A and B are shown apart, each in its own frame.
Chain A
Amino acid sequence: MSDAPVDANSTCVGPKSEQAGKASSCEGCPSQLLCASGEGRKEDPAVNQIKDAMRIVKHKFLVLSGKGGVGKSTFSSQLALALSLNDKIISKARQGQAAMDEDEDEDMNVTQVGVLDIDLCGPSIPRMFGLESQQLHQSNLGWSPAYYKDNLAVVSIGFMLPNADDPVIWRGPKKNGLIKQFLRDVYWGDSLDYLVIDTPPGTSDEHITVVQYLREADLDGAIVITTPQDVSCADVRRELSFCKKVNIPVIGVVENMSGFVCPNCKNETKIFKPSKSGGGEKLAEQFGVPFLGRIPLDPRVMNACENGKSIIEEMPDSPASQALLEIVQKVKNQTNHLHQNKTF
């Protein structure tokens, strides 16, 4: 396959080719000199370093959305929290019950979960876990994450700012540098079962960089979040095209803020109405990717999220928790399936 850029002419041999800059079609191309210098054939050493560093992580997924404020960070944190719960709590929660304290079993298999926040200009993940005052520490093994609990580690630029209100006014290359370091230099422990990567909105530097570095490192795929609105779906369509373009599998689409149940009269209103497009489900259908489910708006959920609590643990009876449980199960099934396919 040629690695020619998409906007190059059709006879471009691509910057990695032996013929780069020398082929007849290179005549007159503005990049001819750069290609001829052989720079394009040099592999970024970080790609392999990251591949090595990521060997200890079984499953990695990206949480993406073209649009901002649809709930990427909320979903990422709740997904991570749900993955970190033991089977007993999960099965209790399925019946709408909270687990008792004495249910805790010491020698159960513990799932190790990590969360990596690559939204560098607006990191919300520290807040979602109630870890705002934490800092990253450096040891000789690498950067050590902040721990929400023993089996849930969190890394974000939010832990590196001297003052929470400081803006991070960085252009792309600087952002790429930090993402590279996050992927390469964080010491997650001996092994991780899941790494959830929360991203900023859009399809720009952060996304290109993370995909570039993880493509070689067995990325399971992306979970794409949308709200039912047309405007959001339009942006998410672009995000799905992006996934297709850079060739990363889509684990599924989640529709967030699906409806609002009035706490007073229990009447449900679709605040963000799907008008023509039919929302997330239709979108998933059009792109031939799985639809994972809908999560309704619930002010109680919102509170739990902002206070860094797992909604599945705190309010298993809420429709939002039940929806999330379904989605988490589907994600688990999907990724296990993917993994089996890979090993054979």
Chain B
Amino acid sequence: MSDQVQSKLLKRMSTIKHKILVLSGKGGVGKSTVSTQLAFSLALSRKDIRVGILDVDICGPSIPKMLGIDKNEVFTCTEGWVPVKVKLSGDDDDNRLCCMSIGFLLQSEDDAVVWRGPKKHSMIQQFLEDTYWGDLDALIIDTPPGTSDEHITLAEILKESKPDGAIIVTTPQGVSLADVRKEINFCNKLGIPVLGVVENMSGFACPCCNEITNIFSSGGGRKLAEQFNIDFLGQIPIDPQLASCEDEGKNFLQSFPESASAKELENITNKIKKRITLL
């Protein structure tokens, strides 16, 4: 990276107070869900907090759909790309939650982004360099599964501007935990602090008889956190309502504030806020 690029990046990142990565070795464990819900939850927790979400999953961007803004486009101003705003219901200021994703740059939602590493690298660099976030309290960066190009790029680019750390998402299954162990070692190797582990899809309460079944077994996340001596942030149960809210792009926390999943999400958010001293 040239010095010019580096200084531009540092300047861009200097208006963002906290930078949080959401990582997982395995796919489909709920990284994007945790990212969006955490962003919502942070923004809803206080009226003067501004949150951004950056989706660096170049080949499978899901964030726009989950936020219900998948039909939007990105505009440019003299300062750079303007991220797409998300309106929170009951909020007059519509400038408190915004998002940047490659999904906004595609012609059709069926378009496959068939790119090798170097092209993904430049796209991510451009996202970080050219997006005009303005002043943000927190930027949540959602990543694809694995420990490859996207992750190495992020770690390299953000090294100077010091991210607060990474939230690791897992399901309780053995297969997922094995991949997540790799991800934690990745963080250690690259010097990214781990903020904690979230266990997603923890158990399913049958809506008919309320019997709780641990479809993907249970408790694995807590054990993992103990093993690596990192914080365990919480367990989010499987909730069909959460899944359908995402499909429809509705705000789950505002639609079902009383559900067990929403409560647990709030809990997790509070722990993270304490951890990064955003109070």
Contact = CB atoms under 8 A, between A and B. Distances in A.
Nearest to B33: A231
Contacts of A267: 206, 208-209
B114 A246 contact: yes
Nearest to A173: B117
A202 B149 CA distance: 13
A242 B112 contact: yes
A128 to B, nearest CB: 7
B152 interface: yes
Given A262-B213, A270-B240, A242 B182 contact: no
B213 A164 contact: no
A166 B28 contact: no
What 8 A-B pairs have minimum CB-CB distances, sorted nearest first?
A: A68-B27, A69-B28, A172-B117, A121-B146, A230-B247, A202-B59, A264-B211, A242-B112
Interface stretch (A83-91, A96-104, A135-143, A232-240): A232-240
Nearest to A164: B178
A67 B57 CA distance: 11
B117 A205 contact: yes
Contacts of B208: 262, 265, 267, 269
Contacts of A260: 204, 213, 215
A169 B152 contact: yes
A56 interface: no
Contacts of B116: 172, 204-205, 208
A210 B190 CA distance: 29
Contacts of A263: 211, 213
Interface in A270-323: 270-273, 275-276, 297, 299, 302, 306
Contact of A68 (B26, B152, B243): B26
Contact of A167 (B109, B120, B185, B204): B185
25 contacts: A120-B148, A124-B175, A166-B182, A167-B183, A167-B189, A169-B147, A169-B189, A171-B152, A200-B27, A201-B59, A202-B144, A204-B116, A204-B120, A238-B59, A238-B111, A239-B112, A242-B114, A264-B211, A265-B206, A267-B206, A299-B213, A299-B214, A299-B215, A302-B216, A306-B175
A184 B146 CA distance: 25
Interface string B235-275: 00010100110111000000000000000000000000000
Interface in B186-226: 186, 189-190, 204, 206-209, 211, 213-217
Contact of B25 (A121, A175, A229, A276): A121
Contacts of B230: none
B135 interface: no
Nearest to B186: A167
B213 A276 contact: no
Contact of B113 (A175, A203, A231): A203
Nearest to A257: B215
A265 B212 CA distance: 11
A165 B181 contact: yes
Nearest to A237: B110
A241 interface: yes
B146 A124 contact: no
